[in-house]
């Protein structure tokens, strides 16, 4: 008898029954007694047996990579913490066993259909046959579809035995170089397994670029050059990420390397990189710029007049090296680096409710750090003592590492382990708490093994209420893996085997961490030191060293780390080598080839000073000290840290200057806590804020200059040396010389004029010669007695020089000052100098060029800020509106403060 239907197995007998579900057409079936039954059964069995080895599908080896490639287990899809649309997969497949259960057994018969595999929802959603939030992922004739279909047809099971595990990735090349934009090349990815096998996984890997404006990479591994520069493209497969450096050379015809002299290995490595990129370094900075830069970087203040005169009169060829040695020997160098370490270690104290670290504990920790740095104690010994410290936090200062790195009523080993690795290794492992790190090599086993070093850390009250005693409880069990709850014995990052448990495991941790063989430790220290002196890390951000964030100059970072280890981890030695390099001493003035470079250290970066260094410099210039609550008179801003008593929500600075200029609040250990970006509020604070206004009094620098009976020119000369570490250019003139345009105020309006300003009208304080134009800056001359006139002139001069954007920057090219409205944010871009001519052709009428509005000119004259021309044009309209609104709000106060300078 013949019936329509499909085949199925029933009690061991092959039966063909009718089925019209899903629109299947009727097919004939054979009854059990048909003579052809046995022959058909044998043929099917033989065919299946012959086909099985070729079509055997592994869930972990074949199926999981399809989910990864299609993005199903990414953080934006089903790999999110709570999944998506009721379906959850482990992020990037870190838990294949759980994923197999959720696919096949969580909702039996819904996601996979063993009876009719091609009707499985898993397949139909992937090819867009039914509505899917993620859209169509691949075609029905693709290898991805065939892999999933074959797995479901084979029973949709997890692997029964051991599966070869990927242990490494290889790329077809580690470096690509393109001569022109639009050029292409392809990368191929090979996975190496622990059984020695190799497999091309290019079609299963995922690719991304760190900077698509330089080079992009598509889903198939094709790299396309988009613009000059350098970047990295990455391939990820399984839990591994591997990168390829891409260089796109600029279209420079006849580029000739200037071959600058190299002072040491730093110059050789940086210049070698620049030569490959066809970027010429800037010239060496002048002595004035070097003196100001190195004093700010090593002493945290501007040079004094005496230091300026002595350095300028020194005729020795090695005077720069001698100055570096002098500053390194000064206690101010240790004080500055104490402040930097205190920020990273979150040193602060307060008896605040419900729990707090007493201010005497903070003092003990801070003084211990300062003592170690003043003696140039090897940094590995310095860190090792902190890691293994125990005892009273009032007596043993380094023990406060376990009370301050993570503040709270109880010690949290997970939070502490994450912060510890970020501070001392520059590695962020917190992502591996819930899943394998998506962009680095750290697994959950690595994370919980590292946490186990600190699970036994305990704190208990001491003899007196304000004391805490730090100890390690060896009876505490290790941390457990979040997924399978396996105990994870203490294990260093990247190690295979745990450390030997002989009491306190921190001793083994300290030995591994500070070992000369631990490249993570030495590279992290070298990178942080470089970032402090050059304004940008070789790895940026400096505390985010990972596979997918490679150094911009790997050989340079390796060499710095090697020299740090060779010097027995001497901070002085590495700082001396960096400061003596030509790279450190380059000018900030760019040339045609390096104008767009912000990564390769081809010229000095224009960088705003740290808030504490800026405030100390303001104190030096004005001669009026700043007092801090809880600290003795004369304390510098870099020595001030949160230290207060009383019941508050927590220790804080509570200082508007520090808040405005972005001093670290020490809420976290992130390097981003310290902000150095110029903002509009900083501009207004320097122009009309209390910090400067209160110091323009008769009791400070102003009184000294007036009492000295110096002429206005001599007095203003000292202000320029103090503030900007240079002489005024063009000399002091009562009336500007011919052919020089001046920025001045007349009749309540600012304008750019020819030099027909009478002697009674304005006094020029500086003449600036710039390419293709010259102008000078003038201040209104008040009609007063000679002493009163000098007093008011100096007040305005101090205000002008201090509010000049130059004071805020560690580097400023000679003869280049840009007067433009401030921009609130550079969106991560490096501000550079730009020229905006004040004498536009055709704009002059009757020897006068009116500006677009008074409010804008106020800011142009009072506070110059470096901008790029494109950023200026893009931000012009919005910034003008902000300035108008702010000026309108501040008019009453500004009228009282600057009656002779600003329009009422």
Residue bearing tokens 């186990």: 452
**Model pLDDT, residue 166:** 92
Strand partners, 460: 469
Residue bearing tokens 């609550």: 629
Long-range contacts of 667-675 (CB under 8 A, 24+ apart): 668/346, 668/419, 669/344, 669/345, 669/346, 669/405, 669/419, 669/422, 669/423, 669/543, 670/422, 670/543, 671/344, 671/541, 671/542, 671/543, 672/541, 673/343, 674/343, 674/610, 674/611
Q: Are 576 and 322 in contact (CB under 8 A)?
A: no
pLDDT at 129 over 80: yes
The residue with greater pLDDT, 586 or 646, is 586
pLDDT in tens, 410-460: 889 999 999 999 999 999 998 888 888 888 888 889 999 999 999 999 988
The residue with greater pLDDT, 828 or 356, is 356
Residue 129, both tokens: 């046959």
The residue with greater pLDDT, 308 or 657, is 308
Among 46-55, 123-132, 269-278, 731-740, which range has the highest average pLDDT? 269-278
- b/e for 719-732, b at 16 or more Cβ within 10 A? bbbbbbbbebebeb
643-658 mean pLDDT: 61
Torsion of CA 8, 14, 20, 24, to 10 degrees: 70
Using pLDDT thresholds of 50, 70 and 90, give the confidence band for residue 897. low
pLDDT in tens, 71-95: 898 888 898 888 888 898 988 888 8
Lowest mean pLDDT among 355-369, 494-508, 644-658, 805-819: 805-819
772-801 mean pLDDT: 46
Alpha-carbon separation of residue 720 from 52, 655, 708, 717, 897 (angstroms): 85, 28, 17, 5, 22
**Model pLDDT, residue 800:** 52
**Model pLDDT, residue 82:** 82
Q: Are 862 and 742 in contact (CB under 8 A)?
A: no
Q: Are 236 and 250 in contact (CB under 8 A)?
A: no
Using pLDDT thresholds of 50, 70 and 90, give the confidence band for residue 540. very high
746-771 mean pLDDT: 37
Write the CB contacts of 361 (distance below 8 Å, at least 6 apart in sequence): 349, 393, 394, 400, 403, 466, 467, 468
Cα gap 565→518, rounded to integer Å:
10
pLDDT at 816 over 50: no
342-356 mean pLDDT: 71
pLDDT at 45 over 70: no
pLDDT at 135 over 80: yes
Q: Are 506 and 388 in contact (CB under 8 A)?
A: yes
**Model pLDDT, residue 821:** 26
Cα gap 697→674, rounded to integer Å:
31
pLDDT at 703 over 90: no
The residue with greater pLDDT, 785 or 729, is 729
Residue bearing tokens 């709570």: 82
Using pLDDT thresholds of 50, 70 and 90, give the confidence band for residue 728. low
| Of 344, 671, 380, the residue nearest 518 (C-alpha) | 380
**Model pLDDT, residue 459:** 87
Report field, pTM of the whole predicted structure over 0.85: no
pLDDT at 304 over 80: yes
pLDDT at 278 over 70: yes
Write the CB contacts of 699 (distance below 8 Å, at least 6 apart in sequence): 624
Using pLDDT thresholds of 50, 70 and 90, give the confidence band for residue 716. confident
Lowest mean pLDDT among 110-124, 336-350, 599-613, 748-762: 748-762
**Model pLDDT, residue 31:** 46
Preceding omega of 310 cis (within 30 degrees of 0): no
- Mean per-residue pLDDT of the chain: 76
Lowest mean pLDDT among 132-141, 381-390, 779-788, 887-896: 779-788
Domains in the chain, please, with CATH?
62-154 (no CATH), 166-248 (2.60.40.1080), 348-514 (no CATH), 706-809 (no CATH)
| Of 812, 800, 803, the residue nearest 607 (C-alpha) | 812
Cα gap 536→671, rounded to integer Å:
12
Kindly calculate the radius of gyration of the chain based on its CA atoms and give it in whole angstroms. 34
Neighbours of 35 (CB within 10 A): 7
Lowest mean pLDDT among 317-331, 469-483, 709-723, 803-817: 803-817
Cα gap 807→622, rounded to integer Å:
13
Cα gap 481→449, rounded to integer Å:
9
Cα gap 168→242, rounded to integer Å:
9
636-664 mean pLDDT: 72
Using pLDDT thresholds of 50, 70 and 90, give the confidence band for residue 899. low
């Amino acid at each position: 008898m013949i019936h329509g239907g499909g085949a199925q197995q029933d009690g061991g007998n092959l039966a063909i029954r009718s089925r019209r579900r899903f629109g299947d057409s009727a097919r004939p079936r054979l009854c059990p007694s048909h003579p052809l039954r046995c022959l058909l059964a044998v043929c099917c069995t033989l065919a299946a047996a012959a086909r099985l080895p070729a079509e055997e599908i592994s869930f972990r080896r074949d199926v999981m990579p399809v989910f990864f490639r299609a993005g199903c287990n990414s953080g934006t899809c089903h790999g999110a913490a709570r999944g998506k649309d009721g379906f959850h997969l482990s992020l990037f497949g870190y838990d294949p066993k759980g994923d197999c259960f959720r696919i096949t057994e969580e909702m039996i018969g819904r996601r996979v259909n063993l009876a009719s595999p091609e009707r499985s929802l898993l397949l139909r959603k992937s090819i867009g046959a039914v509505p899917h939030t993620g859209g169509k992922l691949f075609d029905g004739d693709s290898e991805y579809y065939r892999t999933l279909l074959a797995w479901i047809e084979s029973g949709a099971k997890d692997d029964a035995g051991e599966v070869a595990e990927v242990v490494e990735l290889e790329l077809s090349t580690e470096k690509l170089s393109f001569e022109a934009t639009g050029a292409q090349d392809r990368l191929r990815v090979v996975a190496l397994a622990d059984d020695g096998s190799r497999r091309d996984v290019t079609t299963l890997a995922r690719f991304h670029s760190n900077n698509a404006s330089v080079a992009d990479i598509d889903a198939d591994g094709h790299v396309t050059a988009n613009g000059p520069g350098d970047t990295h493209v990455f391939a990820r497969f399984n839990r591994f990420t591997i990168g390829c450096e891409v260089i796109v050379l600029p279209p420079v015809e006849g580029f000739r390397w200037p071959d600058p002299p190299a002072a040491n290995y730093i110059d050789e490595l940086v210049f070698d990189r620049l030569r490959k990129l066809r970027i010429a370094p800037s010239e060496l900075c002048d002595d004035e710029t070097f003196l100001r830069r190195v004093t700010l970087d090593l002493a945290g203040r501007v040079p004094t007049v005496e230091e300026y005169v002595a350095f300028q009169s020194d005729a020795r060829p090695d005077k720069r090296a001698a100055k570096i040695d002098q500053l390194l020997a000064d206690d101010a160098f240790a004080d500055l680096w104490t402040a930097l370490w205190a920020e990273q270690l979150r040193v602060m104290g307060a008896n605040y409710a419900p729990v707090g670290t007493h201010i005497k504990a903070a003092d003990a920790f801070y003084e211990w750090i300062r003592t170690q740095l003043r003696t140039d104690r090897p940094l590995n010994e310095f860190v090792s003592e902190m890691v293994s410290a125990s005892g009273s936090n009032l007596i043993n200062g380094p023990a406060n590492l376990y009370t301050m790195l993570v503040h709270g009523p109880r010690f949290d080993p997970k939070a502490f382990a994450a912060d510890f690795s970020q501070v001392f290794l520059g590695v962020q492992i917190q992502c591996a708490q819930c899943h394998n790190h998506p962009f680095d090599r750290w697994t959950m086993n690595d994370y919980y093994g590292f946490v186990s070093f600190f699970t036994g850390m305990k704190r208990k009250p001491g003899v007196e209420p304000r004391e805490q005693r730090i100890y390690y409880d060896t009876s505490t069990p290790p941390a457990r893996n979040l997924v399978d709850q396996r105990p994870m014995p203490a294990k260093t990052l990247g190690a295979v085997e745990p450390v030997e448990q002989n009491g306190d495991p921190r001793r083994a941790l300290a030995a591994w961490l500070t070992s000369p063989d631990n490249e993570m430790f030495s590279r992290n220290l070298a990178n942080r030191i470089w970032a402090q002196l050059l304004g940008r890390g070789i790895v940026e951000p400096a505390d985010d060293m990972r596979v997918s964030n490679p150094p911009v100059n790997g050989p340079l970072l390796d060499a710095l780390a090697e020299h740090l280890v060779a010097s027995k981890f001497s901070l002085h030695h590495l700082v001396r080598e960096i400061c003596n390099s030509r790279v450190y001493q380059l000018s900030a003035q760019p040339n045609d080839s390096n104008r767009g470079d912000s990564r390769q250290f081809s010229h000095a970066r224009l960088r705003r000073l740290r808030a504490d260094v800026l405030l100390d410099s303001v104190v030096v210039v004005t001669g009026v000290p700043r007092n801090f609550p809880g600290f003795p008179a004369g304390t510098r801003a870099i020595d001030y840290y949160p230290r207060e008593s009383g019941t508050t929500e927590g220790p804080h600075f509570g200082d508007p200057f520090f808040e405005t200029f972005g001093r670290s609040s020490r809420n976290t250990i992130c390097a981003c806590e310290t902000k150095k970006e110029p903002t509009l509020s900083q501009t207004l604070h320097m122009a009309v804020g209390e910090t400067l206004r209160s110091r323009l009094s008769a009791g400070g620098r102003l009184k000294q200059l007036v009492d000295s009976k110096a002429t206005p020119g001599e007095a203003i000369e000292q202000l320029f040396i103090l503030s900007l570490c240079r002489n005024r250019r063009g000399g002091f003139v009562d009336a500007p010389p011919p052919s020089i345009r001046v920025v001045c105020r007349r009749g309540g309006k600012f304008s750019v004029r020819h030099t027909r300003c009478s002697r009674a009208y304005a006094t020029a304080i500086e003449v600036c010669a710039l390419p293709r134009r010259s102008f000078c800056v003038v201040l209104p001359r008040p009609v007063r007695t000679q002493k009163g006139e000098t007093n008011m002139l100096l007040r305005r001069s101090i205000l002008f020089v201090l509010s000049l954007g130059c004071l805020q920057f560690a580097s400023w090219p000679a003869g280049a000052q840009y007067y433009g409205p401030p921009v609130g944010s550079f969106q991560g871009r490096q501000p550079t100098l730009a020229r905006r001519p004040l004498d536009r052709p055709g704009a002059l009428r009757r020897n006068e060029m009116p500006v677009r509005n008074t409010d804008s000119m106020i800011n142009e004259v009072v506070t110059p800020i470096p901008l790029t021309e494109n950023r200026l044009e893009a931000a012009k309209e919005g910034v003008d509106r902000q300035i108008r609104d702010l000026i309108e709000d501040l008019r009453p106060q500004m009228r009282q403060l600057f009656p002779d300078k600003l329009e009422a």
